[in-house]
Structure 1
Amino acid sequence: MKIGANPNWFANNPLLRLNNEKDSTAFIRARLADPDSLMIPLWQGDPLVIDGKKAGFLSTAARSEFPQGATTVFLGLKNDRAYFGIDASATSQAPETAAFADIGEYMSLRMAASELNRDDLAVIGHARWLIEWRRTHQFCSACGHETDLQLGGAKSQCPNCEAIHFPRSNPVAIVLATHKDACLLGRGPSWPPGFLSALAGFIEAGETPEEAAKRELFEEAGIMLTDVRYQFSQPWPFPASMMMGFIADAEDRDLNLDTDEIEEARWVAKSDIRLLLDKDENAPEGIFVPPRFTIARQLLEIWAR
């Protein structure tokens, strides 16, 4: 796949990132003081959205409305304009009373993914990733001392033992298993009935993504895979996963479900998948495919089309 051809939401970030190995403290400080720089506020990871459809990017001059210690992260440059993310959770315990809630709403990022343009979503996803990492990793894993953010949030360093820490990415293999003219879809116990998706699981230590794909499908559904083919990846900021998408052939359609992980799974014909993707009136009832912003949906589009 050519660079830039990734069809997934939260990918193809339009911003130019700085080299996170160089000391850019003075540069970032100057850009924060520049009123032409923009920032996106997030309350517990959800972005400010104006009129239900526009990302609420504000001038960095609006930082005066936030506490001095509010986590602020540098995201990159576009047309020489700097972009930042700022944690609005520091201003209120409720989104309705957080800073700048009077000009918009802090919309669930999953809902916003269906409303905002994809460039803005990639920027917002990056901001959520860094802010959430700071919230959950304030202390040094080596000595327990509180760390200092550096390079605009691209890393942190412990002032006590000098250990350096970087934002975490949790690798996941997500697999659309196919057998002739059908694909396997399933749902976890917490999902509503009929909401089906490709099966997925975290990649374990010392394991390749292809090995994880085979292991997960066997563990969760009793399916043996052959010809596991990588398609594309997706940064998934819920909270910090890197989804690696595969399409693979199954040896047969015999299922043996791990019911702790999979409540329901079924083989769905390619013709029915096409009807479901097109929202055709003849589509089978009681089945709901993943929304467009998910990598599972893009795997279905690739296979069914």
Structure 2
Amino acid sequence: MKHGTNPNWFANSPLSRVNIEKDQEAFFNARLADPKSLVIPLWRGDPLMTDGSPAFLSVGALSQFPKDAPVILLGMKDERAYFAVDVSAAESAETAPFADIGDYVQLRIAAGVLTRDDLAIIGQGRWYFEWRRKHRFCGNCGGETRLEAGGAKSRCTRCEEEHFPRINPVAIMLAIHDNACLLGRGHQFPPGFVSALAGFVEAGETPEECARRELFEEAGVVIDDVRYQFSQPWPFTCSLMMGFIAEAEGREINLDMEELAEARWCDKADVIAVLNNETRDFNVPPKFTIARQLLERWVKE
């Protein structure tokens, strides 16, 4: 697949997904037996890497993994199947399978060297395994579930209820006023690091309504003309982040100190200088984040 206009690094996967509405067991098993197929091992969502590249192993390597290690089919490219295998049962990254040929590198760090295609593939694997880790039991009867359709859904072994990945929708918004944008910092981040504000979409709420509510709740800023820009699958919390740019009615800030440690209006010239590494007056998120791409788009407008 060709990349579209979405600039986000976890988007635009080069893989063609497999139709999970049909019985995929025969297809799944055939791909597992195909010597062309590749598999990427993930330890707690972090990929095995060798010499700065992801270690896509021959599918035959699965015989070296524990038999109960979850395996999911990510998709197809050039008639070759791509799988991911979860080796999180190992006590440490150093004791995980095939650690002797490389290192399991934290995905947030690996994102700095991975190609966008590889990041999308690995991010998809991490996303599925995170969902699986949190939904091993049926929400209908409490029974244990088993993966089906190559890992794209699960079924309860007791009541036969089907379960599909639950996506957490998030609105992330860059409020602007004249030639400035609003950036804030959560308590979990170090001083000087600021980003666009974000929040989870609540039940019965549109992403645009969420953007307005979150900006007002966290910073007391009223926004209008909420304009959707692009989205990004975010594998660290099983989220789909939807990015917006919105006009603020004014620059008065009424900070919710429980939600944010600080919020500030940053002039466009200062943001451009930070993006170009010309100054360190403050820090912004790395390029693989949707917050960074919102800033990049705004400064080019």
TM-score (norm 2): 0.97
Q: Which residue of 2 aligns with 1:62?
A: 61
Superposed counterparts of 1:147-296, under 5 Å: 147-280=145-278, 283=279, 285-296=280-291
Q: Which residue of 1 aligns with 2:77?
A: 78
Alignment partners' CA distance in 2, 1:130 and 1:226: 36
Q: How well do the aligned residues superpose, as a CA RMSD in angstroms?
A: 1.1
Q: Which residue of 1 aligns with 2:110?
A: 112
Alignment partners' CA distance in 2, 1:232 and 1:298: 9
Which secondary structure state, in structure 2, belongs to the residue aligned with residue 34 of structure 1? coil
Q: Which residue of 1 aligns with 2:292?
A: 297
Which secondary structure state, in structure 2, belongs to the residue aligned with residue 110 of structure 1? helix
Deviations 1:89-129 (A, max 9, x none): 23x21001111111111111101111100101100011111
Percent identity, please: 63
Q: Which residue of 2 aligns with 1:14?
A: 14
Which secondary structure state, in structure 2, belongs to the residue aligned with residue 297 of structure 1? helix
Alignment partners' CA distance in 1, 2:221 and 2:230: 22
| Pairing partner for 2:130 from 120, 129, 132 | 132
Alignment partners' CA distance in 1, 2:73 and 2:237: 18
Alignment partners' CA distance in 1, 2:277 and 2:132: 41
| Equivalent residue letter for 2:78 | N
Q: Structure 1 unaligned runs (5+)?
A: none
Contact 2:274 2:281 in 1 (8 A): no
Q: Structure 2 unaligned runs (5+)?
A: none
Deviations 1:216-239 (A, max 9, x none): 000000000010000000000002
Alignment partners' CA distance in 2, 1:4 and 1:303: 19
| Equivalent residue letter for 1:86 | V
Change beyond 3 A, Cα 1:22–1:31: same
Deviation at 1:286, TM superposition (A): 3.5
Alignment partners' CA distance in 1, 2:110 and 2:258: 31
Deviation at 1:135, TM superposition (A): 1.5
Alignment partners' CA distance in 2, 1:3 and 1:89: 31
The aligned length equals: 299
Deviations 1:196-223 (A, max 9, x none): 0000000000000000000000000000
Alignment partners' CA distance in 1, 2:84 and 2:111: 17
Deviations 1:117-148 (A, max 9, x none): 01011000111111111111111100011112
TM-score (norm 1): 0.96
Deviation at 1:159, TM superposition (A): 2.7
| Equivalent residue letter for 1:273 | V
| Equivalent residue letter for 1:261 | E
Alignment partners' CA distance in 2, 1:159 and 1:263: 46
Deviation at 1:3, TM superposition (A): 7.5
